[in-house]
Amino acid sequence: HYQLTSVNSSNCIQVEIPNLELRYGYVMKVEYTSDQKRGWFMNVYSRTSKKSVLETYLRNNGQKDTDYIILPPQSKHDLGYSIYFNNKSEGVEKVTNTLHRVEMYQIPYMEMRDLHVINSTEARSYSQTLPASVDHQSPYKYTITPNELKGSQTVVLHQGFDPGWKAYSLSCNANRLACSVQKMFPMFFGTELKDHVLVNNWANGWNLESTQLESKNNQQIVIIFWPQYLQFAGFGILIVIMIVMGMMWKLRGQPRATH
């Protein structure tokens, strides 16, 4: 295994799989032990097209875990993945993560995509919702524009199950800037989808009824990784404290007026 420890730095493990034909889909098995403060930041990079296929944080529960991550087919001419495991630390925090094993298995992706898992003991059956579009500009946030919902369905996030993933439905008819702010902070402007379930024994899913989504235009589902937001909030509070302390120190250093 490989273990990295970082303090106010970023250290990386690079795993090369050069002869993999990317016209096929794969499931990647990752075994690792995470730090409770921050887990691995993983980047799957196509060696031929020179672009990132997947960027995501792995779990950070301080335990040994195994995640299964599905990689869809790429261009038929693409060959080989470079997989980067980044151990990030900011400030004085000490972050230690361990990578035990990475395995790749070819799967019939196109056939599996249309399969639905139905539990016969359930009174209701669910099928995966097929989004009209997915915006994934940050590894900790997804914005989904769904197709019309009919009956009971499940929105699925193909990341290792973690209660830190939260889903919210919101509708924005304001200007572009206001909508961007609402999607950045959906916990304040949206309605949380609380039925968070384990899908296929590893992924995240949210069961929902068509009645749960408001019948408005521009309806979207925003999925965020809540621990990342808490970390940003901590950094913001630290910056405010430093600014206040600097202003106090500057005021104390000014000479007092004499009469």
Which pLDDT belongs to residue 207?
A: 86
In tens, the pLDDT along 24-37 reads: 999 999 999 999 88
For tokens 């009645």, name the residue: 211
* Domains recognised in the chain with CATH numbers: 2-109 (2.60.120.260), 116-229 (2.60.40)
Which pLDDT belongs to residue 117?
A: 43
Which pLDDT belongs to residue 259?
A: 53
Query: How much is the pTM?
Result: 0.52
Q: What angle do CA 241, 38, 239 make, to 5 degrees?
A: 10
Which pLDDT belongs to residue 172?
A: 79
Using CB atoms within 10 Å of the CB of residue 166, give its burial: 0 to 12 exposed, 13 to 18 middle, 19+ buried: buried
In tens, the pLDDT along 34-91 reads: 998 899 999 999 999 999 999 999 998 889 999 999 899 998 889 999 999 999 998 8
Residues with Cβ within 8 Å of 30's Cβ and at least 6 positions away in sequence, in order, are 42, 58, 66, 67, 68, 69, 99, 101, 102
SS3 48: coil
Average pLDDT, the chain: 82
In tens, the pLDDT along 168-202 reads: 998 877 678 888 888 889 999 999 999 998 887 78
Confidence of residue 130 (pLDDT cuts 50, 70, 90): very low
Distances (CA, A) of 204 to 97, 192, 222: 23, 15, 14
In tens, the pLDDT along 225-254 reads: 898 888 888 877 888 888 888 888 877 766
Which pLDDT belongs to residue 32?
A: 96
